[in-house]
Amino acid sequence: MNSFKSLIKSLKYFFENKNYLFVFFVASAIIGVGISYSNFYLFHLSLAIYLLLYILLSPLNKFSEFYLLSKLPTRVHYIIFFTISWYILMLFISENIIYGITYLTFIIIGAITVFVVVQKIKSISDLELLFKMLAIIVVVEIFVSLLESFGLFRWPISRLSDNVIYFGRTNEITGILKESVSAFYVQTMPTGFHWNPNDLAVLLGMIFPFFLFNKNKWFAVLGNIIILWLIIQCGARIVFISCFFMLLVSCLFINRKKIIVPLITTIVILFCCSNGFSILHGKYPKFNEIQSFTYVLVGFNQPIYNEAKEDFKKGSTEVRKELIKFGINESLAHYGIGIGGGNSQYELEKTGGIGDKKIVNLHNFWIELLMEGGIIYLLVFIFWYCIVLWNLFQISRRVEHQKLKYFSKSLFVALCGFVISAIAPSTVIYFLPMYILFGFSISAINVYKLNYENTASI
């Protein structure tokens, strides 16, 4: 018995004072599907281990402190409890209960991810630990993605990989190549650890501000150029626009005096948007897409370099428009109450899908929240999002600690950009980096309140 107690005490000490398990948990969340077999991720294993030890080793008399996080200086994290409760209630009106339960499971896993980050991060040194581990994973993924963008390598667990069949998944590359207008176009489309080019692009959009505000301005410029290159190679025009928006936000509200990095980055963006100031002569299809997109935004007639490729992208844009209309109309038909988590897919399946590919996902996070969660949940979520943004903005202006200022600025701009880039993938409800971003943002606010400000809870 004494030996068993000693073992428990040793495990408890290791769990509370060493960060290996937390590092493993966060790293596996960022990698996500990148290390998996079928639908079982490395993240699922780390989640199970973390929760098991957390439940076994946390004393019951500290339930309030450990499980409800009541000792934190803010209540911003309560959105996770509200979201879980709301979607449980939505099960009662869900037409397809299986889809509803599946969606709720995704939300619970995401909420636990936020919870773990918020519970663990209590100081600036904790924030720095989180940032360093994320930076290592992201740098590795950027390197892998660069190799993929030149057709030199393909991460095996990717929908564009021939080897994916060895990891319990269906080989999609043959069908994708048949649908595509160019094999080279697909073969140089990076996916990194995130299975799909759009998902990778969203992650790249999230880290764009962290390069933008790096104190080494030449490292910042190089990082931004690489990110913009990869986003273009992903064919993610929406995320490209979000990067321009983030640059605009940073110039207007954050770094109004430090202009070197924003200026060079703006020139790079203009270079991409204008097809290399027209010196590329339409030779590179993905630059043509960016140029055609910017022409559409300002209402100009765009030059057509390759009609087949442009028609392919126009079709994608039209499908997204139809999906938005469908989501809004269904929301109105249900009086804004919502139809339950995951049931937008069920409704689209009943119609046979939209477009030639019979799409059954809304491909728009905000419309998804409106249609499935209802107008009340959407407004609550937007209100919470604005609170987080406002707090990060205020911290970036007030705090003198350089690391915390850097984190708050980067997180503020990243969340601004995510408003746009969140509509790029089919859905982000199980996009684990989003929950890490939310957890990081809430933790930065809490650390500031704990160490630099004595205020009432938000």
* Mean pLDDT, rounded, for 392-417: 93
* Mean pLDDT, rounded, for 306-320: 60
Q: Is the pLDDT of residue 135 over 80?
A: yes
254 and 413 Cβ atoms separated by less than 8 Å: yes
Q: What are the distances in angstroms from CA 456 to CA 124, 333, 388, 453?
A: 20, 42, 16, 9
> Within 10 A of 40 (CB to CB), how many other CB atoms are there?
10
Q: Give the model's confidence band at 383: pLDDT under 50 very low, under 70 low, under 90 confident, else very high.
A: very high
Q: Is the pLDDT of residue 384 over 90?
A: yes
Residue 71 class from Cβ within 10 Å (0-12 exposed, 13-18 middle, 19+ buried)? exposed
pLDDT of residue 184: 79
pLDDT > 90 in the chain, percent = 43
2 and 34 Cβ atoms separated by less than 8 Å: no
**131: its two tokens:** 């940032």
HSE, side-chain direction, 13 A CA sphere, residue 232: 24
Q: Is the pLDDT of residue 19 over 90?
A: no
3-state SS, one letter per residue, for the chain: CHHHHHHHHHHHHHHHHCCHHHHHHHHHHHHHHHCEECCEEHHHHHHHHHHHHHHHHCCHHHHHHHHCCCCCCCCHHHHHHHHHHHHHHHHHHCCCHHHHHHHHHHHHHHHHHHHHHHHHCCCHHHHHHHHHHHHHHHHHHHHHHHHHHCCCCCCCCCCCCHHHHHHCCCCCHHHHHHHCCCHHHHHCCCCCCCCCHHHHHHHHHHHHHHHHCCCCHHHHHHHHHHHHHHHHHHCCHHHHHHHHHHHHHHHHHHCCCCCHHHHHHHHHHHHHHCCCCCCCCCCCHHHHHHHHHHHHHHCCCCCCCCHHHHHHHHHHHHHHHHHHHHHHHHHHHCCCCCCCCCHHHHHHHHHCCECCCCECCCCCHHHHHHHHHHHHHHHHHHHHHHHHHHHHHHHHHHCCCHHHHHHHHHHHHHHHHHHHHCCCCCCCCCCHHHHHHHHHHHHHHHHHHHHHCCCCCC
* Mean pLDDT, rounded, for 373-381: 95
Query: Where in the sequence is the domain holding 103, given as residue range(s)?
Result: 2-452
* Mean pLDDT, rounded, for 226-230: 92
3-state SS, one letter per residue, for 318-351: HHHHHHHHHHHHHHHHCCCCCCCCCHHHHHHHHH
- State pTM to two decimals: 0.88
458 located within any domain: no
Higher local confidence (pLDDT), 314 or 44? 44
* Mean pLDDT, rounded, for 324-328: 90
Higher local confidence (pLDDT), 381 or 56? 381
> Within 10 A of 19 (CB to CB), how many other CB atoms are there?
16
243 located within any domain: yes
Q: What are phi and psi of 40, to 5 degrees?
A: -105, 115
* Mean pLDDT, rounded, for 381-391: 96
Q: Is the pLDDT of residue 458 over 50?
A: no
All residues at 6 or more sequence positions from 351 whose CB lies less than 8 Å from its CB, including other chains: 326
The overall average pLDDT reported for the chain is 83
Q: Is the pLDDT of residue 401 over 60?
A: yes
pLDDT > 70 in the chain, percent = 81
Q: Is the pLDDT of residue 310 over 70?
A: no
442 located within any domain: yes
71 located within any domain: yes
Cα separation of 361 and 345, whole Å? 5
Q: Is the pLDDT of residue 454 over 60?
A: no
pLDDT of residue 58: 62
Total of domains in the chain: 1
Q: Is the pLDDT of residue 457 over 70?
A: no
Residue 249 class from Cβ within 10 Å (0-12 exposed, 13-18 middle, 19+ buried)? middle
All residues at 6 or more sequence positions from 165 whose CB lies less than 8 Å from its CB, including other chains: 171
94-110 pLDDT, tens digit per residue, is: 999 999 999 999 999 99
Q: Is the pLDDT of residue 78 over 60?
A: yes
372 located within any domain: yes
16 and 58 Cβ atoms separated by less than 8 Å: no
Which of 6-15, 23-32, 187-196, 358-367 bottoms out in mean pLDDT, i.e. has the lowest? 6-15
pLDDT of residue 97: 94
pLDDT of residue 278: 59
Q: Give the model's confidence band at 319: pLDDT under 50 very low, under 70 low, under 90 confident, else very high.
A: confident
117 located within any domain: yes
